[in-house]
Amino acid sequence: MAGFITGKFLFGILAFLTIQFGTCLSKMLEENLRISAFNLRMFGDARAENTDVVEILAKIIRRYDISILQEIRDKDGSAFKLLMNEVNGNTDEYASDLSQRLGTSHIKEEYAVIYRKDTVRLDDTYQYPDPDYDYFERPPFSVKVHLKTADELDEMAIIAIHTKPTEAVEEIDKLVDVSKNTSDHWNGLKNILIAGDLNAGCSYVTTKEMKIISLRKDKRYSWLIGDDVDTTTSGSDCAYDRFVASGDQLKAAIVPGSAREFKFEEEYNLSEKQMKEVSDHYPIELEIRGRVNRRELAKFDSKLSMSFQDNTIHNREDVMRILNSDDFVQYGFDVSIDVNIGTEKKHITAFMDNMTKDQVLSIMHSINLSSDLIRESVCELVILHLNSPLMSGIPGGHGFLIEYDMRYAFEVSCEEDGYHRCSFKLTRGIVTIGSFA
């Protein structure tokens, strides 16, 4: 197949047509939606007086379409109002809702949701019923939201939680019941994200204890922030803050690799002192795939190809073997020769479409046995290419898995013009665009 390929070769991938820029982007793809959970560290009147802190908090919140905030200690609501004014500036872009003030001590806390109104609609809120604080120090607060610009995920619930550190194991274990209760409250809603400071690490939840927690053992729930992630800005190294997702649609809609901590001090060039003044926690974040206009997407046809260019000079007999032998013809290749009368330049081509991977490998092996045109090093290279995970599909910029057709187009072409140079090309087409599960 490519025995004439020796010495130097050009190994290239012709990238698929990008749809991430310009007017094509606006027609085909909505931006991904971002969701965060953030412990604001005792946010009340005193901290609201620090204008630098409020400004940074507002910048962080404006990164997201939905922010789930914890540890708001604001008796009269003035501190949170000041924060919302900073978030909106001169606009009315964001809206918010608050839980009731919760806690067994004189220090009460509220959960808050802040959301971008042009991408999210808040449909309902729900306070988990634990009036006597039998199960939680701060009973979970849930919101049901409609995602206006998400792809194939219209609505979901988010359960905000901030566990009591010394009771973290018991409170996290109870969250399976909270999730079921929330689902039942909203008529069987399946797509639910648990978000917040679970204190799910270090001494509060040990590795041994994590293994027995129902929320961890139940396969319906996916933990999206790893145990090795540090979600604190202090000297500790603990994965306190977590996302836990349930529901097939929600899991499929989350952009792979997007769940992480947001290190705001790097983004905003803050000193360590400034960072710790903002919070002792990092916000955690994830992305939901934006809506795809599949009618527009269907207009595009893209290819992924790999080409090998050989600069070795072949003799005439080697090149003409393409025409004169049965190496290609017996397999049904379309073999042709074009001659330029004025220069007597010949262009020889062997082409076949709709080939399977096994057919490609079989033909390459057969040609290698019957002629000197293919060499062992080239065989190894092509086999490596055909078996590469890249050829099964590659992640696109919108969180998609771009899958490729299982069929190949195979072409060998040579020029005979006193010198004889040949090239080989194997091409696979994009046929579907689907999401990661």
Q: Which residues are catalytic?
A: 109, 162
Q: What Rg value do the Cα atoms of the chain yield, rounded?
A: 30
Backbone φ and ψ for 357, nearest 5 degrees, come out as: -60, -45
For residue 252, what are its two tokens? 């499929």
Q: What is the full DSSP assignment across 39-80?
A: EEEEESHHHHT-HHHHHHHHHHHHT-SEEEEEEE--SSSHHH
Q: Give, in order, the Cα–Cα distances in Å from 121 to each of 96, 112, 116, 154, 302.
A: 11, 15, 8, 10, 36
134 half-sphere exposure, CB direction, 13 A CA radius: 6
Q: Which long-range contacts (CB under 8 A, 24 or more apart) does 7-11 make?
A: 7/310, 7/311, 7/312, 8/310, 8/311, 9/308, 9/309, 9/310, 9/311, 9/381, 10/307, 10/308, 10/309, 11/306, 11/307, 11/308, 11/381
Distance (Å, rounded) from C-alpha 193 to C-alpha 245? Answer: 5
Q: Give, in order, the Cα–Cα distances in Å from 127 to each of 6, 13, 110, 142, 158.
A: 71, 54, 11, 6, 12
